[in-house]
Structure 1
Amino acid sequence: MAGRGSSHNVDHRFSGPQVEAVDDGWQAQEWEAAFQSQAPQTQVREIEAKSIISHNLSPDVPFGRSINPYQGCEHGCIYCYARPSHAYLELSPGLDFETKLFAKLNAVALLRREFAKPSYQPQTIVLGANTDPYQPIEQHYRLTRELLEVMLAHRHPVGIITKSAMILRDLDLLRELARENLCQVMVSVTTLNETLRRQLEPRASTGAGRLKVVEKLAGAGVPVGVLAAPMIPRLNEPELEQIIKSAVQAGAGCADYILLRLPHELTTLFSDWLDEHYPGQKEAVLNQLRASRGGNLNTAFGTRMRGEGQFADLLAQRFRLISRRLSLGKRHIALNTASFIRPNEQLRLF
């Protein structure tokens, strides 16, 4: 389906009985025309969230707090590990994930309420840990920008993970945050091959566009790095060194990578995607992933980001070598938590 990562919906792990229409061949042309005319459009449901800061203690994740102003993501990345979370909403991790989105309209109010709690202790909050905070609907809702405005007003440290050039809209806020060591941005670059990029992540910015984002952020004094993710054996994995080298030339000060992981329904979705785009390489790709995941396509807790085995070890060695050659710094810098101002302490500014 043009412009979509997944061309269909898959049953999720909580699915009940399903009813499907079947073309018996008698009206093939009519069915095809009807299908084309009913190609799903993006729908956004505006919701009031009960809480806004997510907490995690996972050994695989290098931060403990995150905010996702949106659920679902219109970028349509077929490999997205957030897809299975749509099952909790009784929606499919397939086409539903990229066409049925949720905007948390009270995100900013909830964040202010958290900051006002006497017990609140500042710690870096990451925007975009699950879905991209700069996906296309941010142009309308501006939730990410408003969250950054709150972060700046209260001098709270924030990290951002994105693959969208829309982040440059907020360069004014990011520049101010950076002056007080309150922000760091990681730009996700999956591939520099535009054909592969369109297949993997049809509504995201181009690889060249993301390198331009790195260049502009670095030029504005905003700490920025590149996240080469996910690395898919035989498809974009051979690009690892070139992605990092290109990002450093653009101004990235640090880098990291993640090996593709396929939790829950993502196994079926990615397998179907390979059938559609790379059938001749499907088994080689999946077998390499199995060899790096203890014989499974699902992920093992504690090794989700890197994998294990010969291929995973070789990938890690390649990353260490290119990082050393380019003198890259650590991915996560220590951001400023000492300047935090609670809402009832605003007079300290005057």
Structure 2
Amino acid sequence: MLPETMIAIDPATPGGPEVLVPVERPVPVPGRGELLIRVAAAGVNRPDVMQRQGRYPPPPGAPSIPGLEVAGEVVALGEGADSRLMGRAVMALVAGGGYAEYCVAPSGQCLAVPPALSMVEAAALPETLFTVWSNLFERGRASVGETVLVHGGTSGIGTVAIMLGKLFGLTVIVTAGSAAKCARALEIGADHAIDYKTTDFVEAVKAIAPEGVNIVLDMVGGDYIARNLACLAEEGRHLSIAVQRGTKAEVPIHLVMMKRLTLTGSTLRARSVAFKTELRDTLSRAVWPLLSAGRLKPVIDATFPLAEAAGAHARLDSGEHVGKVVLTVA
């Protein structure tokens, strides 16, 4: 029998990490095509921080409980859901609701957890894998032999971009905020790491790749955009996935014209279930064999019990993390 209520993190007001306190909420009921997951672990991501701060509200229909990725056991099915997943361990991409003992997910956004992964590792993957694959390899058309510049190289996104890039034949240059983080990025597999606090990354990239990089994966925005375009080679692609330094930028149009550049980007959370299901199917073919073989594992920075979600967010706020922070659920 399933309980009627559960413990969740569902802040009533925006604020600092201290607003993330355990509360009691009804166990959600899976709708058509959905699964109910007993959560074992939930990934913590930058959009969760922005939601906590009141700067990134959930899309229509999504729960107010934060959390965009979980791993756990399927314990109930909605009408039309994939019955093969009942009782199985899955990892799921969700639009919200992950910081809880139970979470609903569309069955098309779930994948079985490979034996090579722990539940903590599985919970750290969906948001980053879906984001990196859809941008770097689909929108960015990355191909063997190309060079990519990744900002935030030791973030959850950055570490997965390094590992996927190397597995698929890319040369990966990253930026990070200290010598220690640069050293860690090189250990993870980056070919080059630039300390953006002590070095002009544009000049460093030109020294590494005189003709420019093929792709920039940017989480910074703002004044980085013009500098990123200076790093791109002819026919280069610029991919925006976050705007940590601002939503507005001055774009040197002459560079776009002269180099025939492509500027694109995307967000994932509000995309349709159909889009995410198609992306899930692509990942199951291209990436899950690597996970099953143990060739790809997320970098785990720290774990916190669900009741200590405030500590997890404080860790992200500090900027000291390398890889993913994960909540564990008893």
- Normalised to the residue count of structure 2, the TM-score between the two structures is 0.29
Higher Rg: 1
- Normalised to the residue count of structure 1, the TM-score between the two structures is 0.28
